[in-house]
Structure 1
């Protein structure tokens, strides 16, 4: 899903090995949404890493036929709640500058555009970094 829809045209960074490594990392959550009928086919997933004060949504993907049905919103809501329980101050995420659907999704879910990261995607495309504050920053 990541290779075909998120990393299209960029080369494949989120390999199966990298996803498996994230799944076994104590500072990372991986959320998977399965098909209700079969309980098997992955409909979407999110990967978020945690540091002391912030979390980083590393990857969020939903099957094209499941988009605009609340799958991504459910994943982000669960990760948001998990970050709040962990005491995280903010969540960071990036997307391609040209990905208007993702940009609007993050804005609709309480994120704000923080900065432009020139050439972030293999020097082929700029990225937009978003932040969502969950609580006031500590000194």
Structure 2
């Protein structure tokens, strides 16, 4: 309904688009919505994070890294964004950088939710937690490098 009232509002576009991406549904329409939100608010770290996460969920890991690095520059103390970048690094085959980013995510997490999630990634790697309910699987057909 909010989109019907104000179809170009970047926060509304981002909220719905990210919700779909996080659930792993309607990924292409969500990507379109988030790209429209980024065009309207190109310096919003949360919206850039959503774009990076959409690319991640679509298996487009290099594009995800590019956007998530920008999001971290804009919101360096957000644990969720740092965690997303760690995941993207891992899937792009950059496992050392992933672990570094997860450590940052844990260190800036004031509430402890992300800290608990990244602890397992740090101990076992992303593959051990990839299908966790709060994240869901990567898009079907997406390929991910095996991390060593």
Same fold, judged at TM 0.5 (above): no
TM-score (norm 1): 0.31
Which structure: greater helix fraction? 2
Which structure: greater strand fraction? 1
